[in-house]
A and B are shown apart, each in its own frame.
Chain A
Amino acid sequence: MSEHLSAQQLERYRRRALPPMDLLMADDHLATCAACRHRAGGAEQLSAALSSLSVGLQSPAGTEIDHLRYEQLAAYADEQLDEVEREIVESHLEWCRPCAAEAQDLRAFKATVADSLRAEAVPVTPPTRWEEFVAFWRAPAHWVPLQVAVTAAVAALCVWAATHSLRHQVAELRAQLSRLQQSNATLQQEFDTAKGNAAELRGRLAQLERSSISNPKSEVPDSPLIAVNDGGQRITLDQAGHFTGLDWLPPAQQSAVKNALQTARIETPAVLRELAGKAGTLLGSADDGLPFALHSPLGTVVSTDRPTFRWSPFKGATSYVITVYDHDYKPVVTSGPLSATAWRPGQPLRRGDVYSWQVTALQEGKEILSPTSPAPEARFKVLEPGPAQELEQAKQTQPNSHLALGVLYAQAGLLAEAEREFKALLRANPDSPLAQKLLRSIRAKRR
């Protein structure tokens, strides 16, 4: 095409609307005709075109570089990349010094260990039990205690052999004693129940007597099977299962309280088992990963999302740092150095999550952790938002209803709070076997 392009052709060229052959002809002309290129705006747009093409042809994000991943480096060292992947890796290695150094290092390392890896491909003979025993025995950390332990074991073996028949007799006597203790416990329980029933019956008899004196012609009323005083109210459950005194509670919560009255037992959530572990140990001796005792929260659910952590002082400690971990053992919150043995986080913990906590005591430049292995973790759970709100509502509506609050706290897993409410219930009903049983039941759960 020797003639210049028409305005229409140029417009169609710019809009990419020319058929393939016409496009190529127009393009051939443009390649040699600066005037047409000028008309098409190429020269005027040169600065903008430079900018656009530079952006398009070079790094678009400007600063973000994707270095080679380990998997690419390893496959490159193993020569297991296909042609395309190798091209990508080698293009990167051409200019990226850190990646090139890593690739070189890994290749060199591969060459070093290649023989051993080949040799290891043959199944390795596992060490014999004797070798394992000797290796374990030789470990200095185990040496002294093991010597003591083995000496004691040998002595125990001698004693065992010498007292075999005697032990047999002792075992029989112990079994008998255990049976008798069990029987005694059953009798005691029956006695308590009978005593409670007798007290109830006496109460009912006195009521009947008063009733018959004041109104000799009236019929005997449908007297309650269970009755307790609670927050200025009388809560009753009759033989027909009619429940009165806690009408302010939603039906589901009424049902929970009614069940507690009928069975004299407290239901707690399954999560407590997960939280508990061997929680009692954390309050016990200073041995076995517990240089100092942790007090609360332990093995329980807490209603607040900023619980107060309490622990015993460690002799000579100048400061403490407490760390709270989430379920994946990741630190969630850490205190600064503390002189007190109690701390409350500034940030709320997430509700519904299980946490564990650990205290580091600083003593003469040394860090002493509690608890550590083999002691169990100090776990707790922050109550979910829904139940927390329900509890708060119940507390605000009837702050003195110890029975209802005790059952609701226990049901949510807040054992300390539940115990506190049942103690108050017992104070209000000192002769009530039911109040005693409820308190015993919650205390048993806390152990």
Chain B
Amino acid sequence: MAGQETPSQIDSLLRPFLEAADEAESQHRLSQLVSEHAEPLIKQIIRYKLRVQLSYEGESVQHQDAEDVYSEVLVRLLKLMQQVKAHPREHAIGNFRSYVAVATYRACYEHLRQKYPQRWRLKNRVRYLLTHHPGLALWEGENQDWYGGLTKWRTSRPSRGHTARLFQLLNEPQAFAQVGLSDADLPRSNPAEVLKAVFKWVGGPVELDDLVTLVADWWGIKDQTTSVDTSEGGPNDWREGWPDSRLTVEAEVEQRLYLRRLWSEVRQLPPRQRSALLLNLRDEQGSGIIELLPLTGIATIREIAAAVEMPAEEFAGLWSELPLDDAAIAAHLGLTRQQVINLRKSARERLARRMRALDKAVRNLSAR
């Protein structure tokens, strides 16, 4: 990437890394960028969101969960940096720190969601009540914090006094009585009434997470903390089913069969997802690769045209312009750009899952 022009919309923090003259300098700049700008921010957010103590200045993190999230964010970040380096225009990051912050918040939420599914569902319920009940409200504060309370408090944020009162409810055995509820009433109480009673007693807004902690305690919702099995949760291991790349006749047949299966799955996608995927088909380096389908004998141009629901002649006219960018696909399908991105993502997730399932079935058959 040395010598390649850096787009102006890229955060200036990334420029030394992107404009590095050689690999050694590039690695040095990346390491500097991560240690000075990303790591402190990641640690700060993890400390705040997971409420664990993280050590400073390169000492090891003391909490396994925090370490997991920290490593995950770092790995994702380094991966992204490789992509940014290879294709700065397509992976332009306008605000590096903001990107790191959002990625870390997402990783924290994802971790909490996986580790505490019951609590996460309860949080959804509380959010639902706050967003659907006429007298209640949910609003976002700074740093992706969410506050809940009565509608008239919407512009304010929780004070420490309010938080202290909320935790008083959590810590004192007579808490139910203080908000006008009794232990026996609680399971029968209307959840919205419970929230209103809490807000009335607290006298101001509270952080959503704190409110969920209280309600989880009252309603006896506890998660068994177990390690999360992601083997069927997503396409993490989507490369596992690939046939190996030995150039033998047997391997070639196997590879061709794999690609045919993949094409068959593509044709079974919903039409919009097919179009979002095929009209933007690229390899890891971002280059268009749709011509590989006819060249390998997997699908003809007419078949691809049918898959994207276009007349063959029209599609042939478009052939030299492929891959289209998301805005062009959005205009063609009458959607927003974001919808195109989401549809393509859905398509890829589905294909990965389907291919993995097929591969599993084939292996089971072979094993018998």
Interface residues of A (CB under 8 A from B): 14, 16-17, 20-21, 23-24, 27-28, 30-31, 34, 37, 40-43, 45-47, 49-67, 70, 73-74, 77, 84-85, 87-88, 91-92, 94-98, 101-102, 105-106, 109-110, 113, 116-117, 120-121, 123-124, 135, 138-141, 328-331, 334, 346-347, 372-374, 377
Q: How far, in whole Å, are A70 and B352 apart by their CA atoms in the complex?
A: 24
**Residues from chain B with Cβ under 8 Å of A63 in the complex:** 76, 236
B contacts with A: majority SS:
helix
In the complex with contacts A14-B291, A51-B245, A60-B284, A92-B192 CB distance below 8 A? no
B160→A53 contact, CB < 8 A? no
Instruction: Take A16-B291, A60-B284, A121-B134 as given contacts and tell me if A88 and B192 are in contact as well, using a CB distance cutoff of 8 Å.
Output: no
Chosen A-B contacts, 29 in total, with CB atoms closer than 8 Å, are A14-B295, A23-B301, A23-B316, A30-B295, A37-B295, A37-B296, A42-B292, A45-B292, A46-B256, A46-B296, A47-B251, A50-B242, A53-B298, A54-B259, A55-B283, A56-B281, A58-B235, A59-B352, A62-B239, A65-B235, A70-B127, A74-B127, A101-B117, A102-B117, A105-B125, A117-B192, A121-B134, A140-B178, A377-B160
User: Top 3 nearest A-B pairs by Cβ distance?
Assistant: A20-B316, A42-B295, A91-B346
Q: Is B218 positioned at the interface, with any CB of A under 8 Å from its CB?
A: no
Question: In the complex, what's the smallest C-beta–C-beta distance from A120 to chain B, in angstroms?
Answer: 6
A95-B174 contact given A16-B320, A20-B316, A55-B283, CB 8 Å threshold: no
- Is B160 a contact partner of A373 (Cβ separation < 8 A)? yes
Contact call A58/B351, Cβ cutoff below 8 A = yes
* Nearest A residue (CB) for B232: A97
CA distance A55 to B160 in the complex (A): 50
Given contact pairs A46-B256, A59-B235, A97-B232, A334 touches B346 in the complex (Cβ within 8 A) = no
Q: Which residue of A lies closest to B114 (CB)?
A: A98
How distant is B86 from chain A, measured CB to nearest CB, in Å? 13
Q: Is B132 an interface residue (CB 8 A)?
A: yes
Q: Is the CB of A117 within 8 A of B113?
A: no
Contact across chains for B192 and A57 when beta carbons are under 8 A apart:
no
Shortest A203–chain B CB gap in Å is: 55
Of listed B193, B242, B342, residue having the most chain A CB within 10 A: B342
B residues near A139, Cβ cutoff 8 Å: 174, 177-178
Q: Give the chain A neighbours of B281 by CB distance below 8 A.
A: 53, 56-57
Distance of B97 from chain A, by nearest CB (Å): 15
* Contact between A49 and B114, CB atoms less than 8 A apart: no
B360 sits at the interface (CB 8 A): no
Q: What is the 8 Å Cβ interface bit string for chain B, positions 126-157, against chain A (1 contact, 0 not)?
A: 01110111110000001100000000000000
B216 part of interface (Cβ distance < 8 Å): no
B89 within 8 A of A: no
The range of chain B's interface size is 35 or more
CA separation between A88 and B270, bound complex, in Å?
A: 10
Q: Please name all residues of chain B whose beta carbon is closer than 8 Å to the beta carbon of A87 when the two chains form the complex.
A: 270, 272-273, 343, 346
Instruction: Report chain B residues within 8 Å CB of A95.
Output: 234, 349-350, 353
- Using known A-B contacts A20-B319, A49-B296, determine if residue A59 contacts B125 with beta carbons closer than 8 Å: no
Residue on A with the closest CB to B51? A331
Cα-based distance from A138 to B179 in the complex (angstroms): 10
| Given contact pairs A43-B296, A106-B128, A123-B134, a sample of 15 additional A-B residue pairs in the complex whose CB atoms are under 8 Å apart | A24-B301, A24-B312, A42-B292, A46-B252, A53-B259, A53-B289, A54-B262, A57-B266, A60-B348, A74-B128, A94-B350, A110-B128, A141-B178, A329-B160, A346-B56
| CB nearest neighbor in B for A358 | B160
Question: B193 — which chain A residues lie within 8 A by C-beta?
Answer: 116
Tell yes or no: B81 within 8 A of A by CB: no
Question: Does residue B96 face the partner (Cβ distance < 8 Å to A)?
Answer: no
Residues in B with CB closer than 8 Å to A37 are 295-297
Contact A58–B56 (Cβ < 8 Å) = no
A58 touches B297 (CB 8 A): no
Contact check, B270 vs A91: say whether CB atoms are below 8 A apart: yes
Contact of B292 among A53, A113, A135 (CB under 8 A): A53
Do residues B343 and A49 form an inter-chain contact, with CB atoms below 8 A? Answer: no
Residue of A nearest to B127 (CB): A70
Q: How far does the alpha carbon of A238 sit from the alpha carbon of B10 in the complex, in Å?
A: 61
What sequence of 0s and 1s flags, for each residue 292-306 of chain B, a beta carbon within 8 Å of any chain A beta carbon? Answer: 111111101110000
Does B345 touch A at the CB level, under 8 Å?
yes
B337 on the A face (CB < 8 A): no
B311-354 Cβ-contact flags toward A at 8 Å (1 or 0): 01100110110100000000000010001001101111111110
A330 to B127, CA, bound (A): 23
Contact (Cβ within 8 A) B296 A65 = no
Q: Nearest chain B CB to A206's CB is how many angstroms away?
A: 61
Q: Is B247 an interface residue (CB 8 A)?
A: yes
Q: Report if A21-B316 is in contact (Cβ < 8 Å); known contacts: A49-B292, A95-B350, A140-B174.
A: yes
Chain A residue nearest in CB terms to B174: A140
Complex CA distance for A435 and B288, rounded to whole angstroms: 81
Most chain A beta-carbon neighbours within 10 Å: one of B128, B172, B259, B347: B128
Q: How far is the CB of A45 from chain B (nearest CB, A)?
A: 7
Distance (Å) between the CB of A341 and the closest chain B CB? 22
- How would you classify the secondary structure of chain A's contact residues: helix, strand, loop or mixed? helix
Nearest A residue to B136, CB-CB: A120
Partner of A92, one of B117, B134, B346: B346
Q: Are A120 and B192 touching (Cβ within 8 A)?
A: yes
Interchain CB contact under 8 A, B125 and A67: no
A21 with B313, Cβ < 8 A, contacts A58-B355, A87-B343, A92-B346 known: yes
In angstroms, Cα B164 to Cα A120, docked, is 29
B29 within 8 A of A: no
Q: Which residues of B contact A34 (CB under 8 A)?
A: 297
Bound-complex Cα distance A174 to B47 (A): 57
Residue of A nearest to B277 (CB): A57
Q: Which chain B residues border A41 with CB–CB below 8 Å?
A: 295
Most buried by B among A17, A49, A50, A62: A50
Determine if B282 is an interface residue (Cβ-Cβ < 8 Å): yes
The smallest beta-carbon distance between A283 and chain B, in angstroms, is: 20
Q: How far apart are the CA atoms of A28 and B303 in the complex, in Å?
A: 11
Within 8 A of A (CB), among B87-118: 110, 113-114, 117
From the candidates B242, B291, B301, name the one contacting A54 in the complex (CB within 8 A).
B242
Least CB separation from A60: chain B residue: B348
Tell yes or no: B121 within 8 A of A by CB: yes
Chain A CB within 10 Å — which of B142, B236, B259, B349 has the most? B349
Query: In whole angstroms, how far apart are the Cα atoms of A131 and B190 in the complex?
Result: 19
Distance in Å from the Cβ of A49 to the closest Cβ of chain B?
4
> Is B255 close to A, CB under 8 A?
yes
- Tell which of B47, B131, B132, B353 has the most Cβ of chain A within 10 Å: B132
Residues of B within 8 A of A373 (CB): 160-161, 164-165
Task: State how many angstroms separate the Cβ of A42 from the closest Cβ of chain B.
Answer: 4
Assess A24 versus B302: contact at CB under 8 Å? Given A65-B349, A120-B192, A124-B135: yes
Residues of B within 8 A of A54 (CB): 239, 242, 258-259, 262
Is the beta-carbon distance between B121 and A102 smaller than 8 angstroms? yes
Most buried by A among B114, B191, B291, B350: B291
- A91 and B273 form a contact (CB under 8 A): yes
Instruction: Given the known inter-chain contacts A56-B281, A96-B233, please indicate yes or no for A27 contacting B302, CB distance below 8 A.
Output: yes
Give the shortest distance, in Å, between B112 (CB) and chain A (any CB).
12
